[in-house]
Each structure stands twice: as structure tokens, then as C-alpha cells.
Amino acid sequence: MPAAQRLAGDTEEAVFFIQKMDCPTEEKLIRERLGQMNGVGALEFNLIQRELTVQHQLPSIAPIVDTLKALDMLPAVKSDSLDASAQADAIDQAAAYRIPARRWILLGLAGLAALGSEIVAWTSGDERSLPVIALALLGIALGGLGTLKKGWIALRNFSLNMNFLMSLAVIGAAVIGQWPEAAVVIVLFTLAEMIEALSLDRARNAIAGLMAMAPDLATVRGADGSWTSTPAREVAVDAIVRVAPGERVPLDGVITEGATSINQAPITGESIPVAKQPGDAVFAGTINEHGSFVLRVTAAQGDSTLSRIVKSVQQAQGQRAPTQRFVDRFAQVYIPAVVAMAVLVAVLPPLLMGADFHPWLYKALVLLVIACPCALVISTPVTIVSGLAAAARHGILIKGGVYLEQGRKLRALALDKTGTITFGKPVVTDVLSLAPSANQEVLLQLAISLATRSDHPVSRAIAAQEGAAALEVSDFEALAGRGVRGRIGGELYHLGNHRLVHELGMCSPELEARLQAFEKQGKTTTLLCRGAQPELLVAVADTVRPTSREAVAELRQLGVHVVMLTGDNAHTAQAIAAQTGIDDARGDQLPDDKLKAVEALGTQYGEVGMVGDGINDAPALARAQIGFAMGAAGTDTALETADVALMDDDLRKIPDFIRLSSKAHRVLVQNITIALGIKAVFLALALAGMSSLWMAVFADMGASLIVVFNGLRLVRGVPSRVG
């Protein structure tokens, strides 16, 4: 197979919708032809969406279209970076594609003709009488011309594919006088292809079904204040939309009036209603339970969180998972090997042993049918897509089949504390003046003035304190992992943690003892230092999420070592870890320490996952085999950068993800075993002369159906938490 050329410099991209591309054999054919064209680079196939993405450097896409047409692929242009106006050509064909009734009727008639031919041959005892041949030809003409045509194209392009093998088998059967059998085989094969196309549609619908959750219409306020029903896709950002009780939210937005509770299951997978009030974000597709409310639209329909989830799942399934790559490589060797074997079977026994020519030729034809790896090749993508779709429904967005396959191998998981194990919304619990003479009010005002300038959760907690108005701060600077500093009224102040105080050389045994008392209660301590003197101590406490403890226990059951990595001090880390059931907690971690910790976990345990907010742990997240982000429904970056994004803040979704990964793995192994097992059985039967052609086709069809339905089983859901 020609490798895709590496194109240097800028490339253009065109996306085609190819209705006829529903079997991996078509992919192979296209890959072989387009791969040889000058100026064509990477090709990306998405069989389930029937999409082909071509990177190229051609002045126009016409030659690509011509090549595809010559292969009888009937491409429709979905997008073309050279010609933006081409876009409308085929946007929703994938969704609208159905097998036309005409084809089913033709196939039914073909089946009757084939059956008739079989019956006449059987009752008359003559397989080569005129009526038998006429009926068989009728069956082939009605049901098999498509296959024969594709077979001919494959032959012209020297591509050994399923259609070619089938055509050869049918022609071979006719040549040796097995007319009824030739007709039955081709009808069965066509039927199998149609059923396979249908089942792929089901896999695709698993994804499209996600999108269908957002309503098409929105009630929008016009300039005159009246409400009109408008198609959601036409509603612009900042429009004002009303949502009635029981309705689904049509677009992403922020509530401006009214309060309600919303079932966010379509986004987060969690059906417990969430209370919403003005200022809260709501998502397209979620269900408004009680109140009626008004929202200001924050994203057009195509950019809504739900759309982005769907796009992300579609992209994810376009990338090949490791098993799929293996299966594809295997198929490349398998087909030629079986074909070579068929040739030997047809030629050797008659030549060497003077055996009868006919029975061996027949066996060879059966082998050709068995050579079709369709079931094998289709089994993996169907399983992966089903798994990705099931996860998305459960509020877990997996960015590629790779991660779905890898999840079950996780042996260690590093968690960040603030916002991951805890809510990340600390509140001030204690304020303590360290200099007895000083005025605490004034010190607190200074602390608030500095804290107001920072977005760090600890600073935000302090800034939220009641106090006199914030003072002017100059030379403000944030000190990562430590705190902040700035000048107020000409004097330099530091506001930061224990580490900062040490680095400034301001700690004392007395202060140490005071700090420890708070830290051991799981509180985070912050000190305000004037010049060279710590003067005010502020302790803040964060609440552990109730789901964290359960998640940690489940992870441990799954054999995953859980580690807490936090920038907070070691005592606080220990205290919070104890509340959560984590026995390995590491505090005082700067971003670089977190990275090193993840690396060390990798060598000690194997595959490592990391959950973080991506601010102070971006390097560690990138280094982990799987980087998780939480609460992705609200933040764009988390949705985009994580390998696996949890749409809400429930850590229990990680054990769910691992279980889904194990289940997907089991289904993959089953599918490969079934596909290869059936082939092996029929290989033996064929050589023993005990399999007929139609049995081989039937077995092939059966195997395809079994693996597809087995794969689709995954859509039904994420394995439950109990047990």
C-alpha cells in the first residue's frame, strides 16, 4: 500500500461525503488510488460518517473528484478550503441517507429469482437447463450488478477487495455450471452489505442522537418586546430567549430572569436537577423542570456545548484506535494469503494428484469468499464508536479511541486538590493578628487590597471578606505557588503561604506552631507580611466534595493507586487526604514537582492518569498518559485540551470511565475472536469439502452482524457503579 506522501508547506483540505463508502474494502481502494496522486497528502477516512478528508496542494479539487468518480464512489463535497461556497453541497446527506425502497424491492425480486432457479434445478435434477440458467441470470442481474461492477473496478485497479472476490466466486460458480448457487451467493452478499450499512447507520445515530436533544425552536424576544418562535440555528448571540417549564433549553446562555431547576443529564450524564438562578449558565439540550426563565444567548447553535461534544465525538471516532490499526494491518496480509491459498487449492491437487478439477475449483471459490475480512475490520470501529457515544451520554467526553482502549490500563491516578477533590471555593475561617499592638481591621484591609487583584481561590476567599474599601496597590506581582506582593502607600507587602514566609526568612518556631495548628485541621494558611514581619494570619478552609471519597474507594477497588498532588502545604494536604481516604498525599508541589511526580508514578506503577484544572498542573497533565479535566461544561479550554473531559465535577466518573474501557476491551476481544473463529471453522470445512459457497457467504454475513450488534451493545450504557 502506498504510504501517504508528506506534503511540505501549506496544504488545503477538502472533505467529501461518500455514500458508497461503507465497507473497509472501499477505503482501501480509495487509499490506493488517491495515495498515488501528486499533491495529495494525508487521507483520513471516517467509515461511520462516510467521510473522507483529503489534505492536498492541488489548485482545485477537480482531479480528486474525478478519481473518486472513476471508482464509482459518487463523492459529494462537504467542505473545500479552496472554495468556501462549495459548503452547502452535502451538509446533511449523511443524516438523510437511507437505503432506498427500490433497492429492497430489487433485492427481493432477485431473491425470488435465485430461489426459483434453485427449486427448478432441484426438482428437475438438472442444474444447466435453460429455465435454471435464465432464472439465475435474472437473479444476478437484479441483485448483483452493483457488486459485479465494483468487482470490475477493483480488478482494473489491481485491488484485491471483497467485491472482487465475490465477483470471482460468482463467475467461477457459473463457469463450472453451478448457476443457482451463483445467484444465491450474490443475493446473499448484497443482502449482507445492505444490513451492514444499516447497522453502521445505527452506530452513527448513536452520535447524531446526542445532537437531537437540543430543540429546533427557541422563543426569542423581538425588538418590540414580543415573543416569537424562531429556529434555534438562526438565533444570534446576545438574543433574549424564554424557556417554559418542561421545555428543553434551546441554546447555551446565562439566566437573566427567573429561577428554576434543570436536569443537565444530556450534558453531564447526571439527572439530579441543579438549581439555577440569574447569572448561572445553562446549556442547550438540558431540561427545564419547574420555573420559567429568560436567558441571554452566549453561543450560536453550532458552538453550543452540546454541538462541541458531538463534534468532538465524531472527531474522536475518526482517529484510529490501536486495535483498529492492528486489525487493518492484519487484513492487509490476510486477504492475499487466503487468495494465494485458493489458487494453490484450485491448481495443485488436480496437477499433482490428478484429482478432479471441479471439486477443487469449487473449494477454491469457497476460500475466496472466506477471504473477506469485513466482519473483522468492521468490528473494531463499531465497538469504539459505541463506547465513545455511551461515554458522551454519561457526561464523559473521550477524545479518541486510544484513550478508551487505554483507560483500563491505568494503574495510578494523580489528583490535584483545589477544585478537584474539594469544591475549590474556600472561605475564610480565622483571622488572627500576629503583632499584638497592630490594628487587625487595618491589616485585613491591606490583605483584602492585595487579594482583590488575584484570581487564585485563596485570594478570592480573602477578597470576599467584609472590610473597608480596597486600597490602591502598585508594583503588584503574583508569585506562583506562593502568593502575591505589592506596594500600598509606598510600603512593600507580601501576602502568601508558609513557603513564601520561609523564603523571605521570616518564620519563627512560634509562628510555625501557630500555623501547624490550622494546617492540621485541613485549613490553608496565608500570611500578610509588612516589610520583614508577618503581621496577619488568615486561615481558609475548602470543603471536600462528597463524591470524592466514593471515587477514591472505587478507584482503589479497580487497582488504581490514588495520589494527591497539591501546591498547598503538606499538613493541609494530609488532613484533606485523610478525609477522602487517600493515603498518598504530597504537598508543596510546584508545577515542576507535579510533573516529576507523574513521571515517577509512571515508572513505579505503569500507566498514569492525572486530573487537574490545567493552570498550575498543565505540564503534569500533558505528561500523564491520560489527562482528565473536570467541570468541562463551563470551560472551553478544559473541553479542548483534556484527553478525557468530565462534563461535571463528579470524580466518580473516572472509575466509570475505567469500567467502560474494560467493557469495551472485552467486546473488542470477543469480536475479533468471533470474526476470526468463524473464518477458521469455515476454512477447515471448505478444505474438507463440507462447506458450500452460500454457506460461506452466510457465515460471513452472520459474523458481520454478530460483531456489529455486539459492538452496539456498548451504547446501552456505562457499567453501573454498584458492585
Ligand X SMILES: Nc1ncnc2c1ncn2[C@@H]1O[C@H](COP(=O)(O)OP(=O)(O)OP(=O)(O)O)[C@@H](O)[C@H]1O
Q: Which residue is nearest to Cu ion (CB)?
A: 507
Question: Would you call 416 a catalytic residue per the annotation?
Answer: yes
CA distance 717 to 705: 20
Smallest separation (angstroms) from Cu ion to the CB of 482: 13
**Residue count, binding to ligand X (CB under 6 A):** 20
Residue 711: contacted member of ligand X, Cu ion, none (CB under 5 to 8 Å, by partner type):
none
Extract the C-alpha cell encoding 554: 472505587
Structural Rg of the chain based on CA atoms? 33
Smallest separation (angstroms) from Cu ion to the CB of 515: 6
CB 290 within 8 A of CB 318: no
Count CA within 13 A, CB hemisphere, residue 239.
Answer: 26
- DSSP code, position 720: P
**416 vs 643, beta carbon nearer ligand X:** 416
CA distance 11 to 401: 26
What residues pair up with 254 in beta bridges, in sequence order? 281, 296
**Cα–Cα nearest to 496, from 528, 457, 540:** 528
**512 vs 640, beta carbon nearer Cu ion:** 512
**36 vs 508, beta carbon nearer Cu ion:** 508
Pick out residues in 568-587 that bind ligand X (CB under 6 A): 568
- Long-range Cβ pairs for the range 86-95 (8 Å, 24+): 90/16, 90/17, 93/17, 93/19, 94/17, 94/49, 94/50, 94/51, 94/204, 95/208
Smallest separation (angstroms) from ligand X to the CB of 309: 26
CA distance 323 to 329: 10
Pick out residues in 398-437 that bind ligand X (CB under 6 A): 416-418
Smallest separation (angstroms) from ligand X to the CB of 515: 11
**262 vs 529, beta carbon nearer ligand X:** 529
The answer to whether residue 507 forms part of the interface with Cu ion (CB under 5 A) is yes
Q: Which residue type, as a one-letter code, is found at position 663?
A: K
The answer to whether residue 380 forms part of the interface with ligand X (CB under 6 A) is no
Total residues belonging to the chain: 723
Place of cell 479535566: 629
Question: Which range in 105-113, 199-207, 253-261, 456-464 contacts ligand X by CB under 6 A?
Answer: 456-464
- The contact pattern for ligand X, residues 436-455, with x = CB under 6 A and - = no contact, is ------------------x-
Question: Which range in 360-368, 439-447, 499-507, 661-669 contacts Cu ion by CB under 5 A?
Answer: 499-507
**111 vs 567, beta carbon nearer ligand X:** 567
**107 vs 451, beta carbon nearer ligand X:** 451
Burial grade of 37 (CB within 10 A; 0-12, 13-18, 19 or more): middle
Pick out residues in 582-621 that bind ligand X (CB under 6 A): 616
| Interacting residues of 133 by C-beta distance below 8 A, sequence separation 6+ | 117, 179
- The contact pattern for ligand X, residues 621-660, with x = CB under 6 A and - = no contact, is ----------------------------------------
Residue 524: contacted member of Cu ion, ligand X, none (CB under 5 to 8 Å, by partner type):
ligand X
Helix (H, G, I), strand (E, B) or coil at 238: coil
Smallest separation (angstroms) from Cu ion to the CB of 582: 25
CB 402 within 8 A of CB 363: no
Extract the C-alpha cell encoding 41: 497528502
**397 vs 538, beta carbon nearer Cu ion:** 538
| Interacting residues of 52 by C-beta distance below 8 A, sequence separation 6+ | 15, 16, 18, 21, 30, 43, 44, 45, 46, 75
Decide the pairing of beta strands 626-629 and 644-646.
parallel
CA distance 274 to 262: 5
Smallest separation (angstroms) from ligand X to the CB of 482: 5
**241 vs 529, beta carbon nearer Cu ion:** 529
Residue 507: contacted member of ligand X, Cu ion, none (CB under 5 to 8 Å, by partner type):
Cu ion
- The contact pattern for ligand X, residues 469-508, with x = CB under 6 A and - = no contact, is ---------x--xxxx-----------xx-----------
**459 vs 691, beta carbon nearer ligand X:** 459
CB 50 within 8 A of CB 95: no
Residue 458: contacted member of ligand X, Cu ion, none (CB under 5 to 8 Å, by partner type):
ligand X
Smallest separation (angstroms) from Cu ion to the CB of 499: 9
Helix (H, G, I), strand (E, B) or coil at 479: strand
The answer to whether residue 456 forms part of the interface with ligand X (CB under 6 A) is yes
Q: Which residue is nearest to ligand X (CB)?
A: 567
**569 vs 671, beta carbon nearer ligand X:** 569
Among 25, 178, 288, 459, the residue binding ligand X under the rule CB under 6 A is 459
Q: What is the DSSP string of 178-201?
A: -HHHHHHHHHHHHHHHHHHHHHHH
Name the catalytic one among 80, 252, 416, 568. 416
> In which element (H, E) is residue 43 found?
strand 40-46
CB 162 within 8 A of CB 23: yes
Q: Which residue type, as a one-letter code, is found at position 203?
A: A
CA distances from 575 to 155, 475, 525, 586, 650 (A): 71, 35, 13, 11, 21
Residue 512: contacted member of ligand X, Cu ion, none (CB under 5 to 8 Å, by partner type):
Cu ion
Phi, psi of 159 (to 5 degrees): -115, 120
The answer to whether residue 566 forms part of the interface with ligand X (CB under 6 A) is yes
Chain centroid to Cα 93, Å, comes to: 22
Among 187, 192, 235, 458, the residue binding ligand X under the rule CB under 6 A is 458
Residue 627: contacted member of ligand X, Cu ion, none (CB under 5 to 8 Å, by partner type):
none
Among 477, 512, 592, 640, the residue binding Cu ion under the rule CB under 5 A is 512
**153 vs 504, beta carbon nearer Cu ion:** 504
Smallest separation (angstroms) from ligand X to the CB of 455: 7
- The contact pattern for ligand X, residues 508-547, with x = CB under 6 A and - = no contact, is ----------------x-x---------------------
The answer to whether residue 548 forms part of the interface with ligand X (CB under 6 A) is no
Question: Which range in 344-352, 510-518, 531-539, 549-557 contacts Cu ion by CB under 5 A?
Answer: 510-518
- Positive or negative torsion for Cα 228, 229, 231, 236: positive
Helix (H, G, I), strand (E, B) or coil at 675: helix
Residue 483: contacted member of ligand X, Cu ion, none (CB under 5 to 8 Å, by partner type):
ligand X
Place of cell 452460500: 694
CB 463 within 8 A of CB 451: yes
Smallest separation (angstroms) from Cu ion to the CB of 495: 16
CB 121 within 8 A of CB 179: yes
Q: Which residue type, as a one-letter code, is found at position 200?
A: L
Smallest separation (angstroms) from Cu ion to the CB of 426: 21
Sites of contact with Cu ion (CB under 5 A): 507, 512
Catalytic residues: 416
Sites of contact with ligand X (CB under 6 A): 416-418, 454, 456, 458-459, 478, 481-484, 496-497, 524, 526, 566-568, 616
